[in-house]
Structure 1
Amino acid sequence: MSGINKQKIVDSVPQKGFFGHPKGLFTLFFTEFWERFSYYGMRAILVYYMYYEVTKGGLGIPENTALAIMSIYGSLVYMSGIIGGWLADRIFGTSKAVFYGGIFIMLGHIVLAIPGSVSLFFVSMVLIVIGTGLLKPNVSSIVGEIYSEKDNRRDSGFSIFYMGINLGGFLSPLVVGKIGMDYNFHVGFALAAIGMLLGLIVFVTTKKKNLGLAGTTVPSPLSQEEKKKYYGIFGAAIIIIAIILAITIPAGYLTFNSFVALIGILGFLIPAIYITVMYRSPKTTAVERSRLLAYIPLFLASVMFWAIQEQGSTILANYADKRTQLEIAGFSISPAFFQSLNPMFIIIFAPTFAWIWVKLGDRQPSIPKKFSIGLLFAGLSFLVILLPAYLGGQDSLVNPLWLVLSYFIVVVGELCLSPVGLSATTKLAPAAFSAQTMSLWFLSNAAAQALNAQIVKFYTPQTEMMYFGIIGGASIVLSIILFAISPMIQKHMKGIK
């Protein structure tokens, strides 16, 4: 997309109307707010729906299998973003990607709202994975389009947009979690579907007036020759996959365990291919190759961090349900409520961390050191949660404040690593691969959850202390190693601080 076209897009968007920001930010803020309300509301009760007994309204899936499915699901959501971004860039643009994605997500939640079988459950997961892959990366891209490149409101606009994400994530477990856990899972999923419907209504009814041309252009459309080539590749891939499934499933080769193993391999293979292609490309300069090498340990540190943070919706969700005292002073706490802690702490403390980095100025830690601090707090969050079992035994119910403390500590780590990682990715990315490098950053979460699908099966009440201790300890050890080699990493970053 040329600079002229970018400016034409900006000129087509009303530049005032939402807290001093372009009117389009209103549309995108509430579209993403309702999408996140929908997604996190569904996720707050999904693991319980999977492993609760049929007599309690669940599917009766074994607990460890349910925890693995949650991790695989999260991994596939982040992997699908690559395809969603490519489709938007090459075929139908970001606006249509957001609309189609919202439709798929809503349909997935509607399927979940229908009392049914495990088969229906997996159909819903496929729909939501496709939909989130289309919507999630592309709604953020449209935010960037409504500001000119020199507009000093851009960072503030993304901060407001990020607040919408966390507000949706904070409120949905309180609403959907309460209804789903106390009354009926399917009513909870129906509320999630309604949330996505509201997001679609906001998007469709306000985009023409508020967004102008933003999201309507196709940055790098396929030529007729490329269409024939790629459609042929996609068609052949679908046929080959269908044949493989037709052979491997009846023969017993493709089982749930083998599928988990396959996703685990892809979670690391795809990023490795990304890095190799960028490193070997003639479009990548010597300085950019050095920066790409510096990015590898940061990527691996991110995988370790998200492997712990994402267990907030799996292992810690199970811990909240099975190990936590939920009746306090006559009040009953829903285990789904704990899913609101992460976005709540981010809303409260993100401005504080932003102020700290600005206040420190040149004295703030380097990017690798901030990552090492993030890993340190992630490890501590797991060591904290093993203390109740050490102090009171594995059979007694735990005070919920231990869980609150664990969530708080990992958020401190997240605020040291996640926004810094986004910024570092834009700085270290080769110029010819800036978009792909951002996709690579999100793949660190996909790899982490693919890893989690392998390790959550080792969690049991009997192995609780060992599980939290080994993973938490590993994160702290990696934190120390990363801190020690940070000068070497900084040297390879070639002037990037």
Structure 2
Amino acid sequence: MSTSITRHPKGLYLLFFTEMWERFSYYGMRAMLILYLTKTAMEGGLGFDARHASLIYGFFTGFVYFTPLIGGWLADNYLGQRKSITIGGITMMIGQFCLAAKADPVFLSLGLFLLIIGNGFFKPNIAVIVGDLYKPDDPRKDSAYTIFYMGVNVGALIAPLITGYLAITYGYRWGFVAAGLGMMLGQICYNFLSNRFLGDLCKEPALKKDEDGNVEKEPLTKEEKDRTMVIFILVAFCIFFWAGFEQAGSSLTLYTDKYIDRNVLGFVIPTEWFQSVNPVFIILLAPLFSMFWGFLSKRGKNPSIPIKMAMGMILLGLGFVLMLGAVWQRGGDDASVLVKANLLWLLGTYLMHTMGELCLSPIGLSMVSKLSPVRLASLMMGVWMLSSFFANITAGFIASFFVSLGAMSIFAVIAVTSILLGLFLLAVSKWLTGKMHGVK
């Protein structure tokens, strides 16, 4: 798509902008969700207990990453990626406005359902188009996904600040309205500019059909089978990573709200705003990580994809070790709620988690694009996101025991499990790299 070996296609920046506003919509809503569910009606919430709210949160964020498997299959077989993105974006916009319509369990259920369905059409297909802007062996592809990933985090950065402010000042309804308007803006730009910047790319389904309209089923080659197997194995490891990482929106949010000293120079930082800490670190660190991988690559020392992912899991575990420090500073789980932990423990945790994410998430998107058989590209992207389905449901169950088991137990289990699995992935990384048949 591009005549330059160094510059990226203009289509990448359209996709960057579209994804930025979709993530603004999602993370703006997510930053409020657990608090909206647990705050009393007098505070504008639904008044659910923490266990019930954590399960709702976990199942919602889980199914958001299950439906991409279906949306990817429909795009590959019938719709094409371009049309799927429009269907998904409009559906999610309506879902946000349903949440804004009324603080009621019925509107809550309808809104979350539409967000789940819409994300299934949107999420895997926009990631596939990014990869299809480049030839399979184009060295710019890893860099393109890093740029795209920064778009994700620009949206995730500004969303909690805006929706959190509106929720605190005017009520949760207006936070959801802002999330819906963000989704609308992204879709308007995408639909007006996609023909200009993307041409005919991904308008039609990728699967070949015969003269009767039936899909031609070509068997996978040995290399394709091996590479597909690697995707599934790494997806399995990523389940454990995201189960810990997604505590940010549940148990870490609840802990921050009650037990972290959020008073800075007389200003009490709203709990919702801490959802922007990770995106800030992403935006600051992503260029550095990209340059670091490039520096190592030029010297032939760039770690393989499995090694980078193992590093991500270990960093996640070390982040939770810091949260254990916060619990220890307070004197354990039995300490008075009036005793607060230093804010630096939480910021250090988010820093470690962000570094782990940069070793795993953008690398994973690029990996799926490189390893997937062309005719299964969206489906395999859906499989990659399936790790977040299982992870978010697991994260919800973990967070639901936050009150009964205590933060010390929850954080310790996640820390130990993540570090051990990371070490195991390091041990099998050479074998996995061999099964990738030269893909780096």
TM range (shorter): 0.7 to 0.9
Equivalent-residue separation in structure 2 for 1:205 and 1:20 (angstroms): 23
Q: Distance in 2 between matches of 1:358 and 1:373?
A: 17
Secondary structure at 1:78 match in 2 = coil
Determine which of 294, 308, 314 is the counterpart of 1:370.
308
The Cα shift of 1:446 comes to: 1.3
| Change in 2 beyond 3 A, CA 1:381/1:149 | closer
1:226/1:69 CA distance change after superposition, 3 Å: farther
1:379 matches 2:317: yes
Equivalent position to 1:200, from 174, 179, 187: 187
Aligned-pair distance for 1:209? 3.5
Choose between structure 1 and 2 for higher RCO, CA contacts under 8 A separated by at least 6 residues. 2
2:285 counterpart of 1:298: no
- Secondary structure (helix, strand or coil) at the match of 1:460 reads helix
Identity %: 37
Task: Return the alpha-carbon distance in structure 2 between the equivalents of residues 155 and 416 of structure 1.
Answer: 12
- CA–CA distance in structure 1, aligned partners of residues 125 and 369 of structure 2: 17
Residue 377 of structure 1: SS of its match in structure 2?
helix
Evaluate the alpha carbon distance shift between residue 483 and residue 157 of structure 1 in structure 2; reply closer, same or farther with a 3 A threshold.
Answer: closer
Structure 1 pair 282–313 and aligned structure 2 pair: CA distance change class (3 A): same
Partner AA of 1:51 in structure 2 = T
Residues 33 and 370 of structure 1: CA distance in aligned 2, closer, same or farther (over 3 Å): closer
The 1-side partners of 2:127 and 2:361 are apart by 16
Given that residues 146 and 290 in structure 2 are in contact (C-alpha distance below 8 angstroms), is that contact kept between their aligned partners in structure 1? Answer: no
Q: Distance in 1 between matches of 2:368 and 2:8?
A: 26
Q: Corresponding residue for 1:244? A: none
Question: Any conservation in 2 of the 1:176–1:188 contact (CA below 8 Å)?
Answer: yes
Structure 2 counterpart of 1:74: 61
Deviation at 1:57, TM superposition (A): 0.5
Report the Cα distance in structure 2 between the residues aligned to 1:121 and 1:296, rounded to whole angstroms: 33
* 2:2 equivalent to 1:59: no
Structure 1 equivalent of residue 411 of structure 2: 468
What SS does the corresponding residue of 1:61 show, helix, strand or coil? coil
Mapped pair 1:449 → 2:385: no
Number of matched pairs: 431
Matched, 1:31 2:21: no
Q: Quote the offset at 1:163 in angstroms.
A: 2.1
Contact 1:45 1:181 in 2 (8 A): no
Paired residue for 2:289? 353
2:340 is equivalent to residue 404 of structure 1: no
Contact 2:81–2:125 (Cα < 8 Å) also in 1: yes
Identify which of 48, 71, 79 aligns with 1:84: 71
Q: Which whole-Å CA distance do the structure 2 matches of 1:163 and 1:495 have between them?
A: 27
Asked if structure 2 preserves the Cα contact closer than 8 Å seen for 1:50 and 1:61, the reply is: yes
1:325 aligns with 2:257: no
CA contact (8 A) 2:76 2:378 kept: no
2:273 corresponding residue in structure 1? 337
**Corresponding residue number in structure 1 for 2:382:** 439
Evaluate the alpha carbon distance shift between residue 459 and residue 288 of structure 1 in structure 2; reply closer, same or farther with a 3 A threshold.
same
Deviations 1:457-492 (A, max 9, x none): 211276210111012111112222222333444454
Cα deviation for residue 308 of structure 1 reads 0.8
Residue 422 of structure 2 corresponds to 479
Question: Could you give the per-residue CA deviations for residues 226-256 of structure 1, whole angstroms, max 9, x where no partner exists?
Answer: 89x9xxxxxxxxxxxxxxxxxxxxxxxxxxx
Query: Counterpart in 2 of 1:391?
Result: 329
Of stretches 53-62 and 314-323 in structure 1, the one that deviates more from structure 2 is 314-323
Give the unaligned 5+ runs of structure 2. none
TM-score, L = length of structure 1:
0.79
Match in the other structure for 1:96: 83
Partner of residue 119 from structure 2, selected from 96, 118, 132: 132
Q: Structure 1 residues 355 and 96, CA, compared in 2 at 3 Å: closer, same or farther? A: same
For 2:124 and 2:144, the matched residues in 1 are separated by 16
Q: 1:192 to 1:60 in 2, by over 3 A?
A: same
Q: CA deviation at 1:117?
A: 1.1
Query: Separation in 2 of the partners of 1:21 and 1:363?
Result: 25
The one-letter code sitting in structure 2 at the alignment partner of 1:61 is F
Tell me the distance in 2 between the aligned counterparts of 1:431 and 1:200. 26
Shift of residue 428, structure 1, vs aligned partner? 4.4
Q: Give, in angstroms, the shift of residue 443 of structure 1.
A: 1.1
Stretch moving more, 146-155 or 177-186: 146-155
Higher alpha-carbon deviation: 33-42 or 320-329: 320-329
State the partner residue of 1:232: none
Say what the alpha-carbon RMSD is for the aligned residues: 3.0
Taking structure 1 as reference, are residues 432 and 187 closer, same or farther at Cα in structure 2, changes over 3 Å only? closer
What displacement does 1:88 show? 2.5
Equivalent position SS for 1:122: helix
Paired amino acid for 1:413: G
Residue 7 of structure 1 is matched in structure 2 by none
Q: Output the TM-score relative to the length of structure 2.
A: 0.88
1:190 aligned to which of 177, 188, 207: 177
Report the AA paired with residue 453 of structure 1.
G
| Paired position in structure 2 for 1:165 | 152
The CA deviation at 1:289 is 4.4
Whole-angstrom distance in 2 between the partners of 1:432 and 1:214: 14
Preserved contact between residue 181 and residue 336 of structure 1 (Cα < 8 Å): no
1:146 to partner: Cα distance: 4.6
Task: Check whether the contact 2:15–2:126 (CA below 8 A) recurs between aligned residues.
Answer: yes
Structure 1 residue 49: Cα displacement: 0.4
Kindly indicate whether the alpha-carbon contact (under 8 Å) linking 2:128 and 2:377 is maintained by their aligned counterparts in 1. Answer: no
Counterpart amino acid of residue 130 in structure 1: I
Question: C-alpha deviations, 1:376-399, integer Å up to 9, x for none?
Answer: 111111111121221222331222
The amino acid of 1:78's aligned partner reads Y
Deviations 1:263-292 (A, max 9, x none): xxxxxxxxxxxxxxxxxx993444554555
